[in-house]
Structure 1
Amino acid sequence: METLDAIRARRNVRDYTADPVSDEDLSRIAEAGWRAPSASNRQHWDFVVVTDRGQLAELATVWQSASHIARAAAAIALVVPRPADDRQAALDQYDLGQATYAMMLAATDLGIGTGHSSVGDHDKARALLGVPATHDVAYLLGVGYPADRPLRPVARPNRRPFDEVVHRGRW
């Protein structure tokens, strides 16, 4: 798939088939996150790939809108050290967003859907994943094959009009 086609086809997938995602494809998706840009190349992230059904079901309870994680073939937890200050926190959040989107595009390129989730119960997420107390599980990314329809470029996305969003030279 061409990059722009992957961008146009990517959507949040929250219903998945029962088909597993291969370890090779999960590694490719994680590699995309690993290769994402980060402030000063700090790479303040770790990724935990989860495929165990019981563990996925438990992870689905760490946020009120994470139920799709239980139905996913896999999840990737994005883990970050607790920040020293507000500036560090802002940089880490920006970097995690870039890593998440890189993984989403890589998955889309493979025909695999993704759905992101926040984490509310950090203590439970840390315990489930064996993450040290010095780190937080910031986000979860559900990974699996879409149950409803394949990933194809969306002709008319539900977006604000392009000309309202893009300004040239000035607001």
Structure 2
Amino acid sequence: MPRLGHLRATGEIEWVPMETWDAIRARRNVRAYTAEPVTDEQLTRIAEAGWRAPSASNRQHWDFVLVTDRQQLAELGTVWHAAGHVASGAAAIALVLPVPVDERQRLLDQYDLGQATYAMMLAATDLGIGTGHSSVGDHARARAILGVPETHEVTYLLGVGHPADRPLRPIKRPNRRPFDEVVHRGGW
């Protein structure tokens, strides 16, 4: 049973972390956020989850830029046609990689970054905070907004904030392909 919070004697709701399985089932892409801020402690915890993610040969080529400045968030919302939600979030995390030297490095780094992104998304969900990922189309603009050197690419953005539409709770009937069509046992 998810432990999504309880009332203190003062009438305030205290956040109680979810079980891992509940966080996996509750995580969804959130693209509309309330005005409630995300604390520095929460944002740091989310970033730490990415920092702790697995990486091929422990290379950790990633860097994460935490953004809370309203002007930067607004500007980042313009670097991809589907990044508008970043502008309305309490924060964003820019996921940065070095420009790859070859296709193998690109593939390894992208895989690693996917693992780091998902770790951050689960950590955020555990805190009751929503995330929504976005690609970056205008790499030069994203670099300029964040002061990232030309040796690196701002590869993805992760909008961060409290969900505006509904709280994060385990989804009973996710919009997924049927499990038995996706999972094969012992062969195709």
TM norm structure 2: 0.91
Q: Which residue pairs with 1:2 in the alignment?
A: 19
Deviation, 1:17, is 0.1
Q: Which residue pairs with 2:185 in the alignment?
A: 168
**1:28 matched to 2:45:** yes
Q: Which residue pairs with 1:140 in the alignment?
A: 157
Deviation, 1:122, is 0.3
Give the aligned residue type for 2:166.
R
Matches within 5 A, 1:37-56: 37-56=54-73
SS of 1:120's equivalent in the other structure is coil
Give the aligned residue type for 2:170.
P
Structure 1's unaligned 5+ residue stretches are none
Aligned residues: 171
Deviation, 1:75, is 0.1
Q: Which residue pairs with 1:114 in the alignment?
A: 131
**1:157 matched to 2:174:** yes
SS of 2:154's equivalent in the other structure is strand
Matches within 5 A, 1:58-69: 58-69=75-86
SS of 1:100's equivalent in the other structure is helix
SS of 1:77's equivalent in the other structure is strand
**1:78 matched to 2:87:** no
2-structure distance, mates of 1:63, 1:93:
18
Deviation, 1:112, is 0.1
Structure with max Cα Rg? 2
**In the TM superposition, what whole-angstrom CA distance separates every residue of 1:98-119 from its partner, at most 9, and x where no partner exists?**
0000000000000000000000
TM norm structure 1: 1.00
Root-mean-square deviation (CA, aligned residues, Å) is 0.3
SS of 1:142's equivalent in the other structure is strand
Point out 4+ residue stretches in structure 1 off by more than 2 angstroms. none
